[in-house]
Amino acid sequence: MAYASKDLSVLAYANGFTLWHYTTADAATDIDTAGYFNGAADLLRVGDMLLANCAVGSATPATGVLVVAASANGAVDVANLTPFGSANSD
- Which 8-state DSSP code applies to residue 3? -
- Where residue 48 falls among pLDDT bands split at 50, 70, 90? very high
Q: What is the pTM of this model?
A: 0.90
For the stretch 7-21, pLDDT in tens is 999 999 999 999 999
pLDDT at 87: 65
Angle, vertex CA 56, rays to CA 81 and CA 67, nearest 5? 20
Q: Which amino acid is at 27?
A: A
The span from the CA of 36 to the CA of 14, in Å, is: 25
41 vs 85: which has the higher pLDDT: 41
For the stretch 50-89, pLDDT in tens is 999 999 999 989 999 999 999 999 999 999 999 987 666 6
